[in-house]
Structure 1
Amino acid sequence: MSTDYQQAREALGARLRELRLSAHERRLTGGELGEQCGWNKSKVSRLENGKQTPTPDDLRKWAQATGRPEAYGELLARLRGFESHIRSWRRQLASGHRPVQDTHLNAHTDASVFRGWESSMVFGILQTPDYARAIFTRYAELQRSPRDTEQAVLSRTKRQETLYDSSKRFHLLLWEAALHALICPPSVLAAQLDRLAGTVGLETVELGIVPLSAPLRIPPATAFWIYDDRQLIVENWHAELWIDDEASVDVHLRAWKTLCQSAVYGVDAQNLITAARRTLRS
């Protein structure tokens, strides 16, 4: 968890403690506030000490219990402020994958130039429905989230319409390892590779593949997207990070440009896809 995120969570906890200690009728103990909200005392302590991220409903109950319902708007704004940077999968996937895909669909609608790096699987915007179905199923198992696979696939497929929007440009880099990752049945991967080969040459897409044999100036680390060179999205196992500070965007732009130096394009990229497809047949 980032220092900035934790500091923001602790600051919110301090504000919650302040409200509890200055409640309208009288100062509330942690036990009394917890009883009013239907929680145990330990939850009150975790929230106040920045050990647990409150939900909007937690904040509403806290404001009401302390006799300060008008403070809910302020508390919610604080929560939204740091959640806009780090969005845990546990919280995002509470209702399944579809809402997350819809969020990305809206972001793709608003941006024009996309740069992406992916080292372990085919980009979502280039996935076939069967490949996407396999990905969502695996992640639902990992995160123990609700299964809304078909709705998520539909949303991801809808996002692919932007590939045919002449006002947009996709500059995508893929590590060759992703062409061989059997996260799905071989027949599904074969169809996915055929689909990937078909994107080479699209007017809106520049697809580069970094060969496994290519010399690398930096390690092929975490996947990321950059929208319009100003919004950065990074995924890891516990959360999705939406970052817009200039320094973070710049370092990822430099990483992307450095990886570009190891990539091949056009016919050479097609040859790598064809070779991976041939491996599946054998």
Structure 2
Amino acid sequence: MSTDFQQARLALGTRLRELRTESGLTGRELAASLGWAHSKVSKLENGRQTAAQADLEAWANACGCSEAAGELVSLLRTMETRYRTWRRQLASGHRARQEAGLAESQRTLVFRGFQDSCIPGLFQTAEYARCMFAAGSAFHRSPRDTDEAVRARIRRQELLYEPGRRFRFVLWEAALYMRICPPEVMAGQLDRLTGLLGLDTVELGIVPFSAQLPIPIAHGFWIYDERLVTVENLNAELWLEDSADIEVYERAWDSFAEVAVYGHRAHRLIAAARSALGPY
């Protein structure tokens, strides 16, 4: 969980405690009036559990401060804007998230990204993307709308050919070998990467396994101009807009870009990964 998200949850908990103490209620008295376990009140006040909107409204009413419900819900919405669970984002399938990504991308002129385990969506073939969406739907147990999601992702790739945009991506070499799809699909995906090396809007670097890493590789991320960073983990996606957060990821991107290889050296690494697929 992000430090910023946890800090926001602690701030919300502090505000909940203020409302309770101002109303003269103990934690046990509030829990009893709401029909909750006392542990739930404690967890919410100490930032160890994320409240639902209904929880916040009930809390405000129980404290005799129904007018504070709007403030509490606003704090919750701010948290959720930054910390977007896949359960919520994929409630109707992958297409909605892809369309949100398209809208954000259309506002962006310079993209920077780092991926450690898979090919970035902007560079994926339809077949590779289909395998990724199918795996994601199975893991998150979300509705399968694979064909619609693939079409939305391919529409987003039209931006690669628009003059004035720059796509600067760095991949760890492991991304060339991750088998989320059949060998023939991976072969097509690696061929696609090779073709992108000559595109004038794209700068593609690969960090070799042999590189001396500047920092440990933790996760992939995208930087949209200098205004937004998105980070994916297993249960959620972080949308970070604070300048301090963005600066951290810019430094991380610069560090990986410095040890990456480009041009014919990147081509050799892609060719080696394709050769490793063997006959299929």
Give the conservation status (yes or no) of the 8 Å contact 1:19–1:66. yes
**Structure 1: distance between partners of 2:187 and 2:178:** 11
Q: Determine whether 1:222 maps to 2:223.
A: no
> Relative to structure 1, is the Cα distance of residues 207 and 15 closer, same or farther in structure 2, using a 3 angstrom cutoff?
same
Aligned-pair CA distance for 1:233: 1.6
Per the alignment, residue 12 of structure 2 pairs with 12
Q: Determine whether 1:103 maps to 2:100.
A: yes
Aligned-pair CA distance for 1:55: 3.2
Per the alignment, residue 165 of structure 2 pairs with 168
Q: Determine whether 1:231 maps to 2:228.
A: yes
Name structure 2 gaps, 5 residues minimum.
24-28
In structure 1, what residue type is equivalent to 2:98? Q
> Relative to structure 1, is the Cα distance of residues 60 and 152 closer, same or farther in structure 2, using a 3 angstrom cutoff?
farther
Q: Determine whether 1:246 maps to 2:247.
A: no
> Relative to structure 1, is the Cα distance of residues 210 and 75 closer, same or farther in structure 2, using a 3 angstrom cutoff?
same
Per the alignment, residue 30 of structure 1 pairs with 31
Aligned-pair CA distance for 1:59: 3.8
Per the alignment, residue 179 of structure 1 pairs with 176
> Relative to structure 1, is the Cα distance of residues 69 and 228 closer, same or farther in structure 2, using a 3 angstrom cutoff?
same
Select 1:278's aligned residue among 258, 275, 279. 275
> Relative to structure 1, is the Cα distance of residues 238 and 271 closer, same or farther in structure 2, using a 3 angstrom cutoff?
same
**Structure 1: distance between partners of 2:33 and 2:94:** 38
> Relative to structure 1, is the Cα distance of residues 182 and 115 closer, same or farther in structure 2, using a 3 angstrom cutoff?
same
Per the alignment, residue 196 of structure 1 pairs with 193
> Relative to structure 1, is the Cα distance of residues 59 and 161 closer, same or farther in structure 2, using a 3 angstrom cutoff?
farther
**Root-mean-square deviation (CA), in Å?**
2.8
Name structure 1 gaps, 5 residues minimum.
none
In structure 1, what residue type is equivalent to 2:185? V
- SS in structure 2 of the partner of residue 94 of structure 1: coil
**Structure 2: distance between partners of 1:159 and 1:115:** 16
Report the number of matched residues: 275
Give the conservation status (yes or no) of the 8 Å contact 2:60–2:69. yes
For 1:12-161, what aligned pairs fall within 5 Å after superposition?
A: 12-16=12-16, 19=19, 29-34=30-35, 43=40, 46-60=43-57, 62=59, 70-161=67-158
- SS in structure 1 of the partner of residue 259 of structure 2: coil
Give the conservation status (yes or no) of the 8 Å contact 1:97–1:136. yes
